[in-house]
Amino acid sequence: MSTTAQMLSRRLPLPNQPPLTIPQIHLGLYQMSPSTTTSSVLAALKTGYLGFDSAQWYNNESATGAAITSYLTSHPSLTRSSIFYTSKLRSNSTDYTAVRTSITSSVQASGLGYIDLFLLHSPYGGKKARLITWKAVEDAILAGEIRSGGVSNYGVKHVEELMGWEELKVKPVVNQIEVHPFHTQEEIRGVCEKYGIAVQAYAPLVAGMRMGHSVVVGMSEKYGCTPAQLLVRWSIQHGFVTLPKSSRPDRIAENADVGWFEISAEDMKTLDGLDEKLVTDWDPTDAP
């Protein structure tokens, strides 16, 4: 088995919902058009990716699911249970029925029968909306529409709020947040570890904004890898589920080809020290 195949087959446990596991490397599908999503998902599947991260907001749930279904049909040795498909709720609501209907719509849009992980995309909407929305996620899990639930862009207070809710029945398995050497999110990571919540790292490539940074370039030359591979490897060694995004087949393969080298403890510390709290897109973690 190649090192790329080994990396893409690596799965991490989800402590809050054993024995469920999750592929450590996913293909991120943010801001991809339906046609680009189709070609990217197919290219990723050919490379060996098993994790795919979509969202209602991305408007590519149907394209993602259709590409997966098409590939599975032509490759019967790979089954639906091998795939880990994630989607996210567009917005929280105090209307429980509306949220349940929205979750059902996402399942139907994917055409995959169920969603492996469904996230609250942000903490926006206020406490009441967050908790009512989570109740809908819990019930969708009990109904078999989704296998697990999680949150995204949750700050410390939002995680504490949910985990301290006296009506909580199903714990979130992940918190998907922006994490990379230039925004290490140590405080949020700490509260997630406290509650057994896995960290999913989006924008692990820093949206390309720091590929030319002298430390990243110098360290990439030292290890004989690309800057993107170095950043993905940093994420892997921290134990995150990482979501590199690309629509180019060569880059999709490159981003997963990180099993042949290891960053030293000293160099990991150097990369950690690059933190400048750089936000590449949005930051709802301080939402009221």
Q: How confident is the model at residue 87 (pLDDT cuts 50, 70, 90)?
A: very high
User: What is the b/e burial string over 231-253, where b = at least 16 CB atoms within 10 angstroms of the residue's CB?
Assistant: bbbbbbbbebbbbbbbbeeebbb
Is 121 annotated in a binding site? The answer is: yes
What Å distances lie between residue 169 and 104, 109, 207, CA to CA? 20, 27, 36
Which of 3.30.1320.10, 3.20.20.100, 2.60.40.10, 3.40.50.620 would CATH assign to domain 22-275?
3.20.20.100
Cβ-contact 241, 204 below 8 angstroms? no
Is residue 1 over pLDDT 80?
no
Residue 257 near residue 4, CB atoms below 8 Å: yes
Task: Say whether pTM exceeds 0.85.
Answer: yes
- Annotated catalytic residues are 58
Within a 10 A sphere around the Cβ of 62, how many other Cβ atoms? 17
Over residues 37-62, the pLDDT tens digits come to 999 999 999 999 999 999 999 999 99
Could you tell me which residues come within 8 angstroms of residue 265 by beta carbon, excluding any fewer than 6 positions away? none
